[in-house]
Amino acid sequence: MEIKQSKFVISNSKVENCPNSTLPEYAFIGRSNVGKSSLINMLTGRKNLAKVSGKPGKTRLINHFLINEKWHLVDLPGYGYAKVSKKEKKVFQKFITDYFKKRKQLVNAFVLIDSRHQPQTIDLEFMQWLGVNVIPFSIIFTKIDKLKPQTLDEKLVHYKSVLMEYWEELMPIFLSSSKDKTGKDEILDYIQNINKS
Ligand code: GDP
């Protein structure tokens, strides 16, 4: 699939105010600074659809984009930014968990993980929470251009072995580099195939 048209629809902090539509929805989420905005811009072929910021944790809203008039891409706030107060974290958790629990249109969540990092508790716990709540998800390992191929392979083998401690079966896994435009076709074809079935 190629994204020919992408349009910002609405930002909000309440799942009740998300677009009243039956279109399938695909959400992108991950730790602040994981490369989510860059990935969304790469997928849509737009320079500034999602803002790429040097300041982690700035976007705290649910952002809906209409893609090819056929599905919604949802940019969710980055989690795990240390400089956010406890109170803010609670508010954040509530509206994100609300989104995942209540949004019937959600077909799949893409959990973004920085390919350079060791498995982090916050990501592993978040994925377990998705599993417990029966929310389908896939993993996208980002910024793979930053690693040598052999190091990337080693990191992936290690990450998968940690995942296998929790999961009987591995979820779909994608590799991406927004710098080199890697992973775009695989992710978009995956979405297209689900939409077709
Ligand atoms: P977000 O906070 O998750 O939306 O992350 P951003 O997309 O704003 O990216 C955070 C930083 O990582 C920025 O400095 C980006 O230029 C950089 N970055 C994002 N994706 C990549 C990538 O695939 N390769 C490289 N080398 N840098 C990236």
What are the residue boundaries of the structural domains of the chain, listed by start?
6-196
Q: What is the largest CA-CA distance in the chain?
A: 46
Q: Which residues contact 55 (CB under 8 A, 6 or more apart)?
A: none
Mutate to test the pocket of ligand 1, among 32, 33, 38 (most ligand atoms within 8 A of CB): 38
Tokens coding 94: 């509530």
Tokens coding 106: 């959600």
Q: Domain 6-196 maps to which CATH number in 3.40.50.2300, 1.20.1250.20, 1.10.10.60, 3.40.50.300?
A: 3.40.50.300
Q: What is the pLDDT of residue 48?
A: 82
Using a 6 Å CB cutoff, which residues line ligand 1? 32-38, 52-53, 56, 78, 142-143, 145-146, 177-179
CA 33–ligand 1 middle distance (angstroms): 6
Question: Looking at ligand 1, which residue's alpha carbon is closest to its atom 19?
Answer: 35
Question: Looking at ligand 1, which residue's alpha carbon is closest to its atom 12?
Answer: 35
Question: Looking at ligand 1, which residue's alpha carbon is closest to its atom 8?
Answer: 52
- 54 pLDDT exceeds 70? no
CA 178–ligand 1 middle distance (angstroms): 8
CA 32–ligand 1 middle distance (angstroms): 10
Burial profile 81-114: b = 16 or more Cβ within 10 angstroms, e = fewer: beebeeeeeeebeebbeebbeebebbbbbbbbbb
Q: What angle do CA 41, 45, 51 make, to 5 degrees?
A: 25
| pLDDT tens-digit series, residues 158-192 | 999 999 999 999 999 999 999 999 999 999 999 99
Show the beta-strand stretches assigned E in 13-160. Answer: 25-30, 62-67, 71-75, 106-114, 137-142
CA 196–ligand 1 middle distance (angstroms): 31
- 82 pLDDT exceeds 90? no
pTM of the model as a whole: 0.94
ipTM of the complex: 0.99
Taking the CB of residue 61, how many other CB atoms lie within 10 A of it?
A: 14
